[in-house]
Amino acid sequence: MEHTRAKWGSNFGFLMAAIGSAVGLGNIWGFPYKMGANGGFAFLLLYLLLAAFVGFAVMLGELALGRKSGRGPVGTYALLSKRFKWVGWMGVLSGFFIMAFYTVLGGYCIKYMVLNIGDMFGAGFGSGAFADAGALFGAFITNPLEGVIYTVIFLAITMVIVMGGIKGGIENFSKIAMPALFVMLVITIIRSVTLPGAVEGLIFMFKPNFKPIQENFMQVLAVAGGQMFFSLSLGMGCMMTYGSYLSKKENLEKNSILIIVADTIVAILAGVAVLPAAFALGGEGAAMAGPSLLFVTLQNVFGAMGAIGPFFGFLFYLLVLIAAVTSAISLVEVATTFFLDRAELKGKKNASRKKYTLLVSIVMLALATIVAVDGLGSNGLPTPLGLIWIDFFDLWSEGVMMPLGAMLMALFIGYEYRVKKVENGVTMDGMLLEGEVTESGYRFRSRGFFDVCCKVIVPIAMAFILLVQIDGFFGLGIF
């Protein structure tokens, strides 16, 4: 049965899709600011250590398990373990929660592209009527209908790509979009670092400052760990899903490293693109994390650039949009794959990818509508657990379910499934055809390291991250 599964057309295509999943809003607005606020270069070192000792093992584990089973997270765990069966479900649920806010923010990018086009031509739908970008953003988020409309547009783009299938949709789109994103990023960097006052932003980001780490190591560790997980799309079965469509010939260790390195480089480059511009205009106060950095500070920068501003604004929001779309398609794919796997298991002959993708998208839209109408808490909706809706969905997915998912996968591999079998997943699966004993020639070089990571390092690191989250949330004051 397994050989009938759709496949990526090439390893390059797989890499573009996987890097596309990893590179997203997390890189562009999360990383630069968190790095600057938590110790600059010192934070980067910690991040790299976490990526090496935690991220690599989780990435490799997910790709190997997915490829081994040829299924998404629910199917993989159902096939391999009774005890861990529910972990797959948690992954799919995380995907829905992330999409609940991701689509809304993706929609904001489209809105800002439209705005900048308006400004290029001095049209009425530009930003002209507003005193500054703050007023503009405020008016936008307090208009629930507009928020929902742009969310629908973003989700529709995502849905159409996923409907095109693994190779015809996701891979073909990513193969063009990711290199394009890179070029746009370079152009943005050149503009940003040549603005007067830009150096301050670079200093904020890179200057080594061990104080935050000395003063509150646990907090910084949790920030770096959470960021790494979200940024690498780990802990919810996304890479498992993408791995399940990968040919058994490909080298998983090499791919894992390439995805992590590429994602980290783009995160750093995004900082070099965003922070100098933010500082050039407003100093550190303006370089806030999250939506206000992207949609207020930077839009102000474009507004202050004169005639060329709207052009750079359009280019920048297009860049962010592409990053968001290639991540969103991977999130939709996790849920779509779940339905396709289930249909295959039930022996359904006429399972339709398009139908499942539509179904998944409709449910995601329902959740996202809440976040869109909430407008970052500005429209008076009830606050679950005292949080605005975007933070609520973010807390449960990024804050809880993803680290938990990663921890449980590591424990599963380390103590139940055992590394021996993953070794088969990495090397023996290199067999070209069923029954043929020719190995693809890759040795599982990191086997000992991977084993220690799964058994000890990943579970401990994840347990700490979860504890810090719970501590912070309930205000226990342990750390």
Residues that bind ligand PHE (CB under 6 A): 21-22, 24-27, 98, 230-231, 233, 236, 238, 327, 330-331
Q: Least Å distance between CB 230 and ligand PHE? A: 5
Q: Least Å distance between CB 145 and ligand PHE? A: 26
Closest to ligand PHE by CB, 198 vs 331, is: 331
Helices and strands, number each (H, E), in the chain: 24, 0
Q: Least Å distance between CB 162 and ligand PHE? A: 13
Q: Least Å distance between CB 333 and ligand PHE? A: 9
Judged by phi (left if over 0) then psi (alpha if -120 to 50, else beta), residue 130 lies in beta
Closest to ligand PHE by CB, 64 vs 260, is: 260
Q: Least Å distance between CB 113 and ligand PHE? A: 18
Closest to ligand PHE by CB, 250 vs 333, is: 333
Q: Least Å distance between CB 24 and ligand PHE? A: 2
The residue type of 85 is K
Closest to ligand PHE by CB, 233 vs 369, is: 233
Give the sign of the dihedral formed by CA 38, CA 188, CA 151, CA 375.
positive
Q: Least Å distance between CB 336 and ligand PHE? A: 14
Q: Spell out the alpha helix ranges (H) of 81-124.
A: 85-120
Other CB atoms within a 10 A radius of the CB of residue 479 amount to 14
- Helix axes of 85-120 and 353-374: crossing angle, nearest 10 degrees: 70
Q: Which residues of 399-414 are buried (b: 16+ CB within 10 A; e: fewer)?
A: bbbbbbbbbbbbbbbb
Closest to ligand PHE by CB, 106 vs 310, is: 106
Residues found in the chain: 479
Give the 3-state secondary structure of residue 150. Answer: helix
What residues contact 289, with CB distance under 8 A and at least 6 apart?
29, 30, 33, 34, 37
Q: Least Å distance between CB 216 and ligand PHE? A: 24
Give the sign of the dihedral formed by CA 212, CA 218, CA 223, CA 229.
positive
Closest to ligand PHE by CB, 25 vs 408, is: 25
The residue type of 406 is A
Q: Least Å distance between CB 465 and ligand PHE? A: 15
Closest to ligand PHE by CB, 238 vs 419, is: 238
Give the 3-state secondary structure of residue 161. Answer: helix
User: Max Cα separation, the chain?
Assistant: 70
User: What is each CA distance from 79 to 66, 117, 226, 415, in whole angstroms?
Assistant: 11, 51, 29, 17
Q: Cβ distance 67 to 249 under 8 Å?
A: no
HSE-CB for 327 with a 13 A CA cutoff: 29
Q: Least Å distance between CB 321 and ligand PHE? A: 12
Q: Cβ distance 59 to 256 under 8 Å?
A: yes
Cα–Cα dist 73/338, whole Å: 8
Q: Least Å distance between CB 280 and ligand PHE? A: 25
Closest to ligand PHE by CB, 94 vs 300, is: 94
Closest to ligand PHE by CB, 37 vs 98, is: 98
Cα–Cα dist 59/51, whole Å: 10
Closest to ligand PHE by CB, 213 vs 402, is: 402
Q: Least Å distance between CB 38 and ligand PHE? A: 17
Q: Cβ distance 268 to 48 under 8 Å?
A: no
Q: Cβ distance 146 to 373 under 8 Å?
A: no
Q: Which of 434, 343, 40 is nearest to 206 (CA)?
A: 40
Give the sign of the dihedral formed by CA 243, CA 411, CA 31, CA 144.
positive
Cα–Cα dist 317/295, whole Å: 9
Closest to ligand PHE by CB, 172 vs 233, is: 233
Closest to ligand PHE by CB, 61 vs 126, is: 61
In this chain, which residue has its C-beta nearest to ligand PHE? 24
